[in-house]
Homo-oligomer: A and B are copies of this chain.
């Protein structure tokens, strides 16, 4: 069994959302699993001296045109959220809490978070809004709200983020296929070719 693909992403990243709609099908065609790894991208942006693209002049205007165009091409639902970028701390912690219990449930939760935020335009900065998404999947509200304040879960997200930076992650989405790095939703075609050919 070949190693799983690591899929690093930030919930506040629209390109992470667009990539999330394709990566599992691409991987499955080549017998690969995908491990979804939400991180706090702000930590990497400090190292690169960058800001979120939606907060940068010129880039913001382009992104707000490019993302809807990309989404139409994929026939993906898209509603630009009112708050950009949202604070993804609660959603990311909730993910890792669920991941420790049930990886499939965690992935379903991540997909539901992405759909609520980028598909429906809901602001998931408040933990209560994240808990609502969890409830739609049968996750008890109070348990989720307690988990996102749990020091052990906080530490898990920080470790995952630190480890991503140690591997070279500085943007979202970011993939590793057998340690080969691919950055961006627009590298998925090359990633797929890499899987098909074993590299070039």
Contact = CB atoms under 8 A, between A and B. Distances in A.
Given A69-B190, A73-B190, A186-B186, A58 B62 contact: no
A58 B45 CA distance: 10
B49 A168 contact: no
A200 B58 contact: no
Given A58-B165, A59-B48, A170-B62, A184 B181 contact: no
Contact of A58 (B168, B186, B193): B168
Contacts of A66: 181, 183
Nearest to A170: B58
The number of times this chain is found in the oligomer is: 2
A59 B200 contact: no
Contacts of A186: 184, 186-187
Nearest to A45: B58
Contacts of A62: 168, 170, 181, 183
B73 A58 contact: no
A127 to B, nearest CB: 30
A149 interface: no
Interface string A58-95: 11011001100110110000000000000000000000
9 contacts: A50-B50, A50-B56, A58-B170, A61-B168, A62-B181, A69-B200, A73-B190, A73-B200, A184-B186
